């Protein structure tokens, strides 16, 4: 919950700063000027998706954990076979 409060307070601060710049006429007003924060949010979303995609492409493999998982799957299949459940072919 603390993280969302930080994000919302940062968003509020940036919005207030942006509106202040527009009201003080430091940035010339126009249709595109009001859309720049939206462009920023969209760009931030694209950056986030890119980072998630790169993280998935570079996901580390864990061979030891894979062997343990295969062992657990084999144990579960044996358990359910003894209970009379059809678990499919190996």
Contact 58, 65 (CB under 8 A): no
**pLDDT tens, 63-83?**
888 899 999 999 999 999 998
What's the distance, CA 79 to chain centroid?
Answer: 37
In a domain, 22, yes or no: yes
User: Could you tell me if residue 25 is inside a domain?
Assistant: yes
Q: Is residue 37 part of a domain?
A: yes
* Domain that residue 76 falls in: 2-82
Residue 77 near residue 87 (C-beta atoms within 8 A): yes
pTM of the model: 0.44
Residue 56 domain-assigned (yes or no): yes
Please state the domain count of the chain: 1
Q: What is the rounded distance in angstroms from the CA atom of residue 45 to the CA atom of residue 42?
A: 5
- Inter-residue contact 71 to 64 (CB < 8 Å): no
Q: What is the pLDDT of residues 27-39, one digit of tens each?
A: 666 666 667 777 7
In a domain, 87, yes or no: no
- The count of residues in the chain is 90
């Amino acid at each position: 919950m603390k993280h969302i409060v930080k994000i919302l307070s940062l968003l509020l601060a940036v919005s207030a700063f942006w509106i202040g710049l527009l009201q003080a006429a430091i940035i010339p007003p126009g249709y595109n000027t009001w859309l720049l924060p939206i462009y920023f949010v969209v760009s931030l979303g694209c950056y986030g998706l890119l980072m998630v995609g790169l993280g998935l492409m570079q996901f580390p493999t864990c061979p030891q954990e894979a062997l343990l998982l295969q062992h657990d799957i084999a144990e579960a299949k044996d358990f359910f076979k003894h209970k009379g459940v059809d678990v499919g072919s190996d």
